Amino acid sequence: MDLEERVEHVGSLVATQRLVDALARSADRSAGGESLAEVEDDCIREVVARQEARGLGVVTDGELRRLRGRDEVAAQLADVPRFGVARGRRLPAGEHRSGVSITRTALPSDTPYGVPANSLVDEYRFTAGISTRPVKVALLGPDHVTHLLDPAPGAHVHDLFDAVLALEQTVVEDVVAAGCRHVQLDSPGYLAYADPVCVAEMRGRGIDPVADLRQAIEADNAVVAGAAEATVSLHMCRSYLRGVARSPVFDPFAEILFDQLVHRRLLVDLDLSQADAFAPLRFVPRDRQVVIGVVDSRNPRVETIEEVLRLVEHAGRWFPIDQLALSPTCGFAATDPARQIGAEEQWRKLDVLVEVASRVWG
């Protein structure tokens, strides 16, 4: 691994006040001023330049275009003719941004899927056009997207799951065909399988957690099956469990998970308050790269270089240090503004990661 690959952020970045203001103005149709699209373009240029200045091997657009409140995959589903879509479902606080529910219509089941407007391709093309570095595109994994949608009364959730999966495969193939060589799946749901309370709830609903986990893994593998030219990564985090005062139990969940995922780079957010936080990494096959979340994307306090160095040393006891890289625990942009850190703090946290990487691997 080159030094520049040793630091990677998850994808989303905190928007500056200028973009926040432009979003507010765009919601108020009577307000004038510069257009939201222009402000987005400018802000993306700025965050790309700041990532390049830090020497990051892969950059993103900060997912700044996704602040308009439409989840990218849900937005695609809105255009799939097989489904009628009712907008406006309110998600519980803390859930991922989205606002869509689905009702199945009576169209024939052989109606082809179309992806009339793949917004990820547009996002990729713009950022690739202004960056000297490779650009990463991330999307929510099919398991999580399915959980955000409602099948119509009488429709089976498996049909919805299959539809989401087929659509995501097309989206990823299109992005790779457009030239993207770094595709990341965001699969925040996995750690629920390591949480005894969530597992008990699944069993209570008649769900076999292991079978369910295997299905989620198969789907996350299938989504990137058409992306052979790209480096595929998968981000799993504790956003599911954040704010819940209990610790995941990784065995035997981690053994199944890490053994079966095909993604080359795994961006993992483990509970750093635990003495053996990195122990689950012993299950990761040695041909993978593990990007460990070592600065907290939700806590404004900027970690010290010494703190992060200690974490790297701990992780090195469970996984070859040569195959490790560093990241924040999750994307910096939070659904809940109250839990979001300042835009400048995110850059200082990335500076710490860059410095630690140069000391460890430089």
The letter for the amino acid at 156 is: H
- Token pair listed for 304: 């010290």
Q: For residue 106, with 0-12 CB atoms within 10 Å meaning exposed, 13-18 middle and 19 or more buried, which class applies?
A: exposed
β-bridge pairing 83-87 and 100-104 = antiparallel
**Near Zn ion by CB under 5 A, which window of 110-118, 223-231, 237-245, 308-316?**
237-245
Q: Is 100 in the site for Zn ion (CB under 5 A)?
A: no
Distance from C-alpha of 325 to C-alpha of 274, rounded to nearest angstrom: 20
Please say which residue, 230 or 236, places its beta carbon nearer to Zn ion. Answer: 236
Q: How many residues bind Zn ion (CB under 5 A)?
A: 3
Binding mask 275-314 for Zn ion (x = CB under 5 A): ----------------------------------------
Q: What share of the chain is helix, strand, coil (3-state, %, to 5)?
A: 45, 10, 40
Binding mask 108-147 for Zn ion (x = CB under 5 A): ----------------------------------------
Please say which residue, 60 or 128, places its beta carbon nearer to Zn ion. Answer: 60
CB of 11 to Zn ion, least distance (A): 9
CB of 273 to Zn ion, least distance (A): 17
Please say which residue, 126 or 258, places its beta carbon nearer to Zn ion. Answer: 258
CB of 302 to Zn ion, least distance (A): 19
Please say which residue, 51 or 239, places its beta carbon nearer to Zn ion. Answer: 239
Distance from C-alpha of 179 to C-alpha of 132, rounded to nearest angstrom: 14
**Near Zn ion by CB under 5 A, which window of 27-35, 230-238, 298-306, 353-361?**
230-238
Figure out which of the listed residues 176, 194, 199, 237 binds Zn ion, where binding follows CB under 5 A. Answer: 237
- Token pair listed for 151: 């099948």
CB of 110 to Zn ion, least distance (A): 37
CB of 330 to Zn ion, least distance (A): 3
| Count of other CB atoms within 10 angstroms of residue 245 | 5
* β-strand partners of 328: 295
Please say which residue, 57 or 331, places its beta carbon nearer to Zn ion. Answer: 331
The answer to whether the bond into 209 is cis (omega within 30° of 0) is no
**Element housing 195 (H / E):** none
Binding mask 313-342 for Zn ion (x = CB under 5 A): -----------------x------------
CB of 114 to Zn ion, least distance (A): 30
CB of 155 to Zn ion, least distance (A): 29
β-bridge pairing 100-104 and 136-140 = unpaired
Please say which residue, 140 or 180, places its beta carbon nearer to Zn ion. Answer: 140
Q: N- to C-terminal Cα distance for the chain?
A: 11
| Count of other CB atoms within 10 angstroms of residue 301 | 10
**Near Zn ion by CB under 5 A, which window of 40-48, 74-82, 234-242, 288-296?**
234-242
Please state, in angstroms and as integers, the Cα–Cα distance from residue 36 to each residue in 26, 136, 163, 318, following that order.
6, 23, 32, 46
Please state, in angstroms and as integers, the Cα–Cα distance from residue 94 to each residue in 44, 112, 276, 294, following that order.
25, 34, 27, 22
**Element housing 12 (H / E):** none
Binding mask 59-98 for Zn ion (x = CB under 5 A): ----------------------------------------
Binding region for Zn ion (CB under 5 A): 237, 239, 330
